[in-house]
A = this chain, B = another copy of it.
Amino acid sequence: MMMFRAGDVHVAPGVALYHEGDETEYFYTAREGQGVRVKHLPNGERQVVNFIFPGDVVGLQAMLSGAAANSAIAASPMVLCRFEKRKLHELYRNSPQRAYALTWIAAAEEHFLGETIATLGQRTALQRMAWALLKIYNRLSAVGLALPNGAVPFPFRQRDLADAMGLSLVHTNKTLARLRRFAIWEKGSLRLVDAPALAELALTDCALPPDRPLL
């Protein structure tokens, strides 16, 4: 691990860790701060693929094609560990434990992306926002970022949330307004007032298929 790590990186808000199309030889684990992974479409639209929180692995997806398929941009001051992709083979040879952990994280990521796909594909604006706020809050408080008053730091703009949920900025704003009695997001921090009600709205519990013809 010691040999593997290639130094810490500090990134200021608004600055990119790497850009779409870059052939970067590094990947990262986030230690502090928050950011987004965004993908740009030819027409200039932006999609936030996911948010980056402490503990996340960033940039591993580009391992295959070489060129990154998205940009990573800091939303607050970030600190990350940098690793060299070239030495991944080494890691797999010398530290199966860590290699396994890496796969575990990748699987968790994939799990989350699957949920996101279901949300974008099937849910209404209100459900999406409720789901997003809930997920974000839970994730952040899970890594111990909840303050005594129950608020978590959330340094993004409405534009980011809009691009994450595939909604227009205007409609995102209106939807947030409708949710304000359940969750309050202002001045860079998010506080849940009525989490159960939010969960209800998000329909977060994924149900089983109605009929289960057994094999």
Using CB atoms and an 8 Å cutoff, list the residues of chain A in contact with chain B: 11, 15-16, 19-21, 37, 39-47, 49, 60-65, 69-71, 88-89, 92-93, 96-97, 99-100, 102-104, 106-111, 113-118, 120-123, 163-166, 203-210, 212-213, 215
* Closest B residue to A15 using CB positions: B215
A42 touching B205, Cβ below 8 Å: yes
* Closest B residue to A93 using CB positions: B96
Smallest CB–CB gap between A50 and chain B, Å?
8
Residues of chain B contacted by A16 (CB below 8 angstroms): 213, 215
B96 touching A209, Cβ below 8 Å: no
Q: Contacts A19-B208, A100-B88, A209-B71 given: A41-B203 contact, CB under 8 Å?
A: yes
A21 touching B117, Cβ below 8 Å: no
Cross-chain contact of A111 among B15, B64, B164, B210 (Cβ < 8 A): B64
A42 touching B110, Cβ below 8 Å: no
A205 touching B43, Cβ below 8 Å: yes
* Closest B residue to A123 using CB positions: B41
Could you give 8 example pairs across A and B, Cβ below 8 Å? Answer: A11-B215, A20-B208, A42-B205, A44-B207, A46-B122, A47-B118, A65-B111, A92-B96
Q: Contacts A88-B100, A107-B106 given: A114-B207 contact, CB under 8 Å?
A: no
